[in-house]
Chain A
Amino acid sequence: GENVEQHPSTLSVQEGDSAVIKCTYSDSASNYFPWYKQELGKGPQLIIDIRSNVGEKKDQRIAVTLNKTAKHFSLHITETQPEDSAVYFCAASKGYSTLTFGKGTMLLVSP
């Protein structure tokens, strides 16, 4: 089955800096790659996603890039703010089957 590796497990940045979280996947047939943000005491919430026919997608301060050849994708957050502090999960899926999640990255943004 699909295996998703996520790095780093923890990331500390200063407010205003950029943050990058990277994921690799094993199944070359995977074609959907969402990112979820989980705040303390809450369930994960979708923040951005990308499909395999697109190399990059941007939404305000967040962007996701996909390299299908290398089977990796990344989340980029620019101008980080304290409210960006949370756990971020990447995931991969093929077709309409279930998602496989990475283990998560705890992002801490210090004022």
Chain B
Amino acid sequence: DAGVIQSPRHEVTEMGQEVTLRCKPISGHDYLFWYRQTMMRGLELLIYFNNNVPIDDSGMPEDRFSAKMPNASFSTLKIQPSEPRDSAVYFCASSTLGAGGGKLFFGSGTQLSVL
């Protein structure tokens, strides 16, 4: 298995632009998580899905952030409009159980820079 695949690896954009991050989870994994990593706040859970349904989006910082999972093999995280404080590494992870049940498999992340 190729693991969790994220794209793009790096994204540089200007403030106000729309940004879309993409994730392909491991086949057969029922849970998908979006995390944001910054030096100040560490790893923060933004949202997670179970069987393509959003379960907990309490970590989504603002209405500018939205996430979708149209099918079991694809998810997007969209920021519109983007702001400099959104600069961070965004990780997607998948698992067969909830995060507290077992191993999370992380992708390599998307390094987002908003100028």
Q: How far is the CB of A100 from chain B (nearest CB, A)?
A: 8
Bin the interface of chain B by size.
20 to 34
Return the CB mask of B78-110 against A: 1 if under 8 Å, else 0.
000000000000010100011111111011110
Are A98 and B103 in contact, CB atoms less than 8 angstroms apart?
no
Residue in B43, B100, B108, B109 whose beta carbon sits within 8 Å of that of A32 in the complex: B100
Given contacts A42-B108, A43-B91, contact A93 B100 (CB under 8 A): yes
Return the CB mask of A37-59 against B: 1 if under 8 Å, else 0.
00001111110010000000000
Interface SS of B by simple majority: loop
Are A98 and B100 in contact, CB atoms less than 8 angstroms apart?
yes
Interface SS of A by simple majority: loop
With a cutoff of 8 Å between Cβ atoms, the chain A residues found around residue B99 in the complex are: 93, 96-99
Stretch from A14-22, A61-69, A74-82, A101-109 forming part of the interface with B: A101-109
Are B43 and A44 in contact, CB atoms less than 8 angstroms apart?
yes
**Which residues of chain B from 15 to 69 have a CB within 8 Å of any chain A CB?**
33, 42-43, 45, 48, 56
B109 closest partner in A (C-beta) = A43
Which chain A residues have a beta carbon within 8 Å of chain B's beta carbons? 31-32, 34, 36, 41-46, 49, 89, 93-99, 101-104
Q: Beyond A97-B98, A97-B99, list 16 extra A-B contacts (CB 8 Å).
A: A41-B108, A42-B109, A43-B91, A89-B42, A93-B99, A93-B100, A95-B98, A96-B99, A96-B100, A98-B45, A98-B98, A98-B99, A99-B45, A99-B100, A99-B104, A104-B43
